[in-house]
Amino acid sequence: MIFLLGLALLRGRVGDREAWHCGAVLIHPRYVLTAGHCVRDPNIPNLSLLGVRLGELNLTTNPDCQLGLCSSVVDVGVEQILVHPEYNRACLACHDLALVRLSRAIENLLPQIYPICLPLDPEGELGGSTDALHNSRDWGWIAGWGSVSGDPFNAQLPTVLQKAQVPLTPTPFCDALQQRYPDPSSTLCAGGEGPFTCKGDSGGPLMIDNRMRTRWYVLGITSKGPRVCGAPNTQTLFTNVHHHLSWILSNLRP
């Protein structure tokens, strides 16, 4: 079940206003992975991260139960925020990635909450490189609590976690987006038909299974999408997790 994969919500503050503003995903008992702009947005200089919530499905109930499995939410403080050192340097939203170290370890909570796998060996684990997956695998999964309205001026935030399959095949729209990046392979695209990411989904994962569905992997972290969510012939741009593995792994500690 997708909601058991360590999906997280980030709670932030801007001035006197607090809100669940981004998604994230648990990759280690002490770390969630999210987008750089979810913790340090140049357009919101007074943004501060207050905490991380795991095990959430329905924001209006606790615990949440589905198919006989129940999950109580876990709210955790933030010990450290690590933004990718090249974030926003070579281009706007380049290397849009951050690690958030939790104030305590999230463990012994199976089956409700567990980390998603990093794509350490895509060819062995998933049957191809991350580039090849766009040609060999048709679909990935997105999930989050972002707006379900395509109108950028009228966000409609759901109370229940939304999840959907999206096509992985890049389109000309993706090619145009990636041309703005000095290293296009640092990003990947998905979507373009049907469900879409929108305001509030930033930082959430693009996921894929190992066909047998014994393990799930995070391929990308939601970075940016079109101005009008779900507009025809558009796609969402994700930060490529495999491309940034060396930075991620070098910053994880017990």
Catalytic sites, residue numbers: 37, 96, 202
Interstrand relation of 162-167 and 187-190 (parallel, antiparallel or unpaired): unpaired
What would the two tokens of residue 47 be? 């943004």
Sign of CA dihedral 128, 125, 198, 182: negative
Strand partners, 82: 99
Tokens of 69: 């499995």
Cα–Cα distance measured from residue 219 to residue 205, given in angstroms and rounded to the nearest whole number: 7
* β-strand partners of 189: 237
Helix (H) or strand (E) holding 173: helix 172-178
Is the dihedral angle over the CA atoms 185, 187, 188, 192 positive or is it negative? Answer: negative
| Rounded Cα distance, 109 and 8, in Å | 14
Determine the number of helices (DSSP H) and then strands (DSSP E) in the chain.
Answer: 4, 15
Q: Of 12, 92, 4, which Cα lies nearest the Cα of 55?
A: 4
Cis peptide before 63 (omega within 30 of 0): yes
Q: Cα separation of 173 and 231, whole Å?
A: 11
